[in-house]
Chains A and B, each alone.
Chain A
Amino acid sequence: MSQTPLLDLSGLRKAYPGVVANDDVTFAIQPGEVHALLGENGAGKSTLVKMIYGLVRPDAGTMMLNGTPFAPPEPRAARAAGVAMVFQHFSLFEALSVAENVALGMENPPKPSALAARITEVSNTYGLPLDPNRRVGDLSAGERQRVEIIRCLLQDPRLLIMDEPTSVLTPQEVDILFATLRKLRAEGTAILYISHKLEEIRSLCDAATILRLGKVVARCNPREKTASELAELMVGTSLKPPKSGGAAPGDIILKAQDLSMPSASAFGTPLRNISFELRRGEVLGIGGVAGNGQDELLMALSGERKLPQGSLYFEGEDIGTRPADMRRRIGVLSAPEERLGHAAAPNMSLTENAALTAARRQGMLSRGFVNWGAAKGFAEKVIGAFDVRTPGPGVAARALSGGNLQKFVIGREVMQAPEVLIVNQPTWGVDAAAAAFIRQSMLDLAAKGTGVVVISQDLDELMEISDRFAALNEGRLSAEVPTGDLTMEKIGLMLGGAQTTAMEQA
């Protein structure tokens, strides 16, 4: 390798109060190389790319782009130098059109009509068809990502940074994306690819740098390693896959029948004629690409939104019209996706948060008064059993890291010995060790006879823990299929809404 690297990082360091996000990070990206950046949540991947993109300034270290010093004070400068970035979240404007969104990411956008023509041209060249006049709020997750990619491509980047681009895509959409990325690589564009999906990295990337706790712990060619070797490099220890108790499913405990619910917001998804049966001791996995009705389904099952009569039964009893509190009383518990603000009140202590959902079932109430001693005891029990790292139950929920808070909100429901537990994205943004723990706790719960519904976008997770699988697409639920019979391809078809054909082939 005698050529100058496209981007050369050496000794980068960035510290925030209390944590060192990056410490002495050194690696190089060659032109036309797909370089993977691997690491757990909190390993410092985001901080590192923010430094390259000019959103954060390093405390120490140097960056060289094409052999010249590179220190972008703001994203504008990075874009001007040929560095573009496709974000994981928060970079599109739902109420604006595709063309307006693209124009906002460019330094000197051409006139609207010329821009629309360019968007159509580039999107067709790279096999990502897109109508420039549509509102982004009406697009699917995959189409939204195309908007971001095209916004980057219009500026002829030399380095494209992609932050977990496949987390919102169906397997078929992933294939299209990879074809586009390979085409870009062939044209000489370098790609810095951040992901924790190891199989993807093995199939796509030429080189990998692995971060742990802000430091580079390994560099390798991902094609020469197995996925489990890569995982061990990331985590630092080997992980045990969760084990199911193997109990035979019992009687039907929860049954949804033609459940429909209008959406509460303009960009939400209405639920359409959802039917399923959940048995005791069974884990039902519900997959789907983000924004296909997952949040709405959780609200419908948990009781946050009321349902028409005759659409939801618990042990043969119609509970659709009962509010969340009444459902909790009979043992139908739930944990929503959003940890801060939905599952837990950020500024309230863990004790208070424990009392919020567990007060009635754990006997913390007497004549309208809360027994705070009992609430504290319960919070301590959850903290102990779920290994929540916190100084104590008096700490505010927002002070906990994502993984620890997630263990707490899941543990809070699991420790109440529910009859039915409904969780949405139980391990989203949680490190691998905590995720494995949470998955195991749900399997243990099922082994004791609880019916568990897991709504998740992580297909690997669903394949690992669920007994049966159903896909959510535009608010419709496919028929449930035993997980053992499924291949990734079949799941992809189900996620895309082709459940009837998938069933016929099954």
Chain B
Amino acid sequence: MDLSSINWLLLLASLMVAATPILLAAIGELVVEKAGVLNLGVEGMMIMGAVCGFIIAVETGSAPLGFVAAAAGGALLSMLFGVLTQFLMSNQVATGLALTLFGLGLSALMGQGYIGIKAPGIGKLDLGPLSDLPVLGTILFRHDAMVYVSIAIVIAVWAFLKFTRGGLILRAVGESHDAAHALGYNVIRVRLMAIAFGGGCAGLGGAYLSLVRVPSWTEGMTAGAGWIALAIVVFASWKAGRIIVGAYLFGGITVLQLNLQAAGAKIPVEVLSMSPYLITIIVLVVISADRKRAAHNAPADLGKSFHASH
């Protein structure tokens, strides 16, 4: 294996690109889980975003419109989950899993006529002198706009949860829906809005795959990114700032294994390509080994159905 053949600068630069889809999906899921809802359908919402974004971008020739459509598609699918779990009281875990399977199937159907087409480009954002900086310019400032949008969303979510009354109410609903209800907050409305936001973010993440990262449409192209996003939320112990760390860590592992393959590492390709998932499992085991700490940060009413009984 020839490690010197790996261009570390380019590797670091592509890390941000590789991490953006899971970063978007993870920050969306963080908001959903902070509101006390466990939506395991991230994978399904991502792939719906990927196909919706791709179709609209191809038909209109505009990538930004594609992203808008992707967010709408993801949010729409998440509302199916919202109605089932919040109004019809279905089990969140089972419904989330079903949502993933449904999204994968529906996206394959919708995307049938779009296989083998190239997506319209989104173009790099010109940041002027910043882009020309040596080293840092290459790593940080020569990306497309969505990379920066994703970081802006994370910062906005962090500030929303920490400083605003809306964020406080959202956290309160996730901590104890009974108490929030007793104080007169509309638990179901707060949760539906959180679920829609999570769906929208997952959709954006999916569209980043089909419009920027790949950029074309293939069935099942999210390939487990939604599950990694779910793992990152736990890894980040439900803190927005740590979502960035987690996403870039996993993005980095993904990029590194690609580079190692290219460099001819003497490890079977299969082992390398399963490494991000393997590491996800290991990290989750390590984190949840300390049950007290893990339980400390998780929203207390995560995954519990709320039914106003009076």
Contacts and interface: CB of A to CB of B under 8 A. Distances in A.
Interface of A: 47, 50, 54-56, 74-76, 79, 87, 89-96, 100, 103-105, 109, 265-266
A109 B182 contact: no
B171 interface: yes
A96 to B, nearest CB: 6
Contacts of A96: 168, 171-172, 175
A50 B310 contact: yes
Contacts of B184: 54-55, 74-76, 79
B165 A95 contact: no
Nearest to A136: B175
Interface in B262-310: 292-293, 295-296, 299-300, 310
Given A109-B165, A266-B292, A93 B310 contact: no
Main SS of chain A's interface residues? loop
B295 A90 contact: no
B294 to A, nearest CB: 9
Given A54-B184, A103-B168, A109-B165, A95 B175 contact: yes
A83 to B, nearest CB: 12
Given A103-B165, A104-B169, A109-B165, A90 B182 contact: yes
B144 interface: no
A346 B179 CA distance: 23
B182 A93 contact: no
Given A95-B296, A103-B165, 4 more contacts: A75-B182, A93-B172, A96-B168, A105-B183
Contact of B179 (A54, A93, A100, A103): A93
Contacts of A266: 292-293, 295-296
Contacts of A79: 184
Contacts, number: 61
27 contacts: A47-B310, A50-B310, A55-B182, A55-B310, A74-B184, A75-B182, A75-B183, A89-B178, A90-B176, A90-B178, A90-B182, A91-B178, A91-B179, A92-B179, A93-B175, A93-B179, A93-B180, A94-B175, A95-B175, A95-B299, A96-B171, A104-B168, A104-B172, A109-B165, A265-B292, A266-B293, A266-B296
Contacts of B310: 47, 50, 55-56
A266 B175 CA distance: 14
A74 B189 CA distance: 15
Q: Which 8 A-B pairs have the closest CB atoms?
A: A75-B184, A90-B178, A93-B175, A266-B296, A91-B179, A91-B182, A76-B184, A90-B179
A109 to B, nearest CB: 7
A104 B293 CA distance: 26
A92 B300 CA distance: 12
Interface in B25-73: none
A443 B146 CA distance: 72
B71 to A, nearest CB: 30
A75 to B, nearest CB: 3
Contacts of B171: 93, 95-96
A226 to B, nearest CB: 35
A89 to B, nearest CB: 8
Contacts of A47: 310
Interface string B244-272: 00000000000000000000000000000
Contacts of B182: 55, 75, 87, 90-91
Contacts of A91: 178-179, 182-183
A55 B183 CA distance: 9
Interface in B141-182: 165, 168-169, 171-172, 175-176, 178-180, 182
Nearest to A95: B175
A419 B293 CA distance: 39
A216 to B, nearest CB: 21
Nearest to A151: B183
Contact of A92 (B165, B169, B176, B293): B176
Contacts of A265: 292, 295
A47 B310 CA distance: 8
A93 B187 CA distance: 14
A227 to B, nearest CB: 31
Nearest to A108: B165
Contacts of A74: 184
Contacts of A56: 310
A109 B183 CA distance: 14
Nearest to A75: B184
A2 to B, nearest CB: 35
A54 B183 CA distance: 10
A227 B214 CA distance: 79
Nearest to B177: A90
A87 B310 CA distance: 15
Most buried by B among A47, A56, A93, A109: A93
B191 to A, nearest CB: 16
B300 A104 contact: no
A105 B295 CA distance: 26
Contacts of B165: 103, 109
B293 to A, nearest CB: 8
A104 B183 contact: yes
Most buried by B among A50, A54, A90, A94: A90
Contacts of A103: 165, 168
Contacts of B293: 266
Nearest to B294: A266
A95 B302 CA distance: 13
Contacts of A50: 310
A446 B96 CA distance: 52
Interface in B214-251: none
Contacts of B168: 96, 100, 103-104
Contacts of B300: 94-95
A305 to B, nearest CB: 14
Interface string B182-196: 111100000000000
A43 to B, nearest CB: 16
Contacts of A87: 182
A54 B172 CA distance: 20
